[in-house]
Structure 1
Amino acid sequence: MYKRKRIALVGQPNSGKSTLFNQIAGFRARTSNLPGTTVDFSITTVKMAGEEHEVIDLPGTYSLEGMEPAERVAIRYLLEREVDVLVNVVDASLLARSLEFTLSLMELKIPMIVVLNMMDEAERKGIVIDIQKLEEILGVPVVPTVAVHGKGIKELFEKLDDARVPEEIPLQLSRLLREEINKITEVLKERIEFSKFPIRFLAMKLLEGNTSINELVEVDKDVRRMVDQARAKIMEVAGKDPHDVIHTLRHHTALSIFEKVAQVKRGRRKELEYKLDDILLHPVLGYFFLTLVFLVLFFLV
């Protein structure tokens, strides 16, 4: 007996997320929105291997701190609704930048799959990605796709049962950050009876000053005071706002992961350009082709 899964597609703008959704949905998509919002998102029901699942295409967002209405809808959905599988659609040709958002999503502790989309574009850029190594580092399944051609979609659905919550997020926080987040987490555990998202995630977002969390969760004055004191302490030691400190850590971690799993070689297009350069700039052949061009122009005139 299988359980119908609610699968949320989330990713940065231009990652090919909606293209992937359209390949899955065909003409069977419908639109919906969250109460109090006018921003729509698309939903479809799909059958794969005899199992029926609901797939939601959330608006693209660069982070969990989005300020635009569409970004806020994506964030609210993830924080308010029950999601069985979180599918993070990533532009493989911009892997280092995209992984910053992936690291943020991992903090939600939702069973997750990373889709490396636009693999053909990555190949054209000469980017070779070690899928298995990326899976080992992130601790979740990674599926390569080329959504525009429908490649990898079957493999994605075959991996749904393998989606998992990462045991450890590869983000190396400083001792001070860990201590302050742990303190806030322990207090929140005592004050909040029920939370749809992890208490540690809430503690980190309060420390970052995340406006979306502040709007969705009510905490008492004592917790606010504790968070303000922690923020002030980190600013005094680090010389930067906790949000900037954590964002910088994610950025460096994403770059480090990229360096471990990817190699940048000459893409096919670049190989052709280099070969043409070698011929046209050759000390002997170059003059021959230059003369040929002048002769063609002379006869054309």
Structure 2
Amino acid sequence: MISKTSKVGIIGAGNVGANVANALVLLGKCVRVVLFDRTLSKAEGQVWDIEDSIPLLKEMEIIPSNQYEDLADSDIIIVTAGVQPKQGQTRLDTLSDNADIIRSTIKELDRVAPNSIVLIISNPVDVLTRIAQATSTRAENLIFGSGTVLDTARLRYQLGKRLNVAKQDVHAYVIGEHGDSEFVVWSSAFIGGILLTEFPIPQGATLEQIQQEYTQLTRKRGYNIFERKGNTSYGISTVVCQLVDTILRDEKQIFPVSARANSNYGVGSEVVLGLPCIIGSTGIQRQLLLSRNAYEQRLLEESANKLNEAHNSLHN
């Protein structure tokens, strides 16, 4: 059961931040939301618009603010602030600008809400989560990023449609960078407890074709949406709501969030990337070791190297 005092803060009143706030209200995931933006009028406009729906929904409170102090005592604070990639750019292209924003934001959050769980949504989410962890004084389990949760949800839904099974019966993970080097761990993919390699494939397709098609889908889906509407917001907002619910209810669900890799993954002790973790009331409660074949291990190392290079470029 969600606490009667549950409070969620959101940093940034842009497309993603506002949609996260709206989704939390629509789905009734907490009792109080604070939408913070440096420009108070922007936060007010978004909040007042969302607030008009509350009389038709479950009673809750949503507050606009440009004061970090209003985020004190939040159970969870969601960071969405940052520069968005322009047409033709990748998420990593925004790193330099967004790194400074994350550092300054985390310092303020440490000051006003040192015990809150901090969820990074801003891109490039893996490197920014690493920067946030290095900047913050709070325990590392209290800071993680949205990682490849959305990519995994996209994969499970689309693959389920292709195989004509419910998405809940598709058990497969996208791991690594939330970006161009992410990949599907096909060797560990199960459909309703049956290995994908042993599952009946629709007529006219091969397993190799399906694997290639859906690997590309997970990598390109966000870019394809961005090209058509200029941003992505609905999917990630739902991901955030699910993570918020899991934390507030201490449900201990497994999500591939941005976290520092366990040494057993063999990619170094510093890199942060999307890996399956148990999420509950204390944030990351445990990181799980996902079995991989030699090819997938190489892909993981390549993804980690790419993220390390991006991180290290900030100091050059």
TM-score category (smaller protein): 0.3 to 0.5
Structure with greater helix share of residues: 1
TM-score by length of 1: 0.34
TM-score by length of 2: 0.33
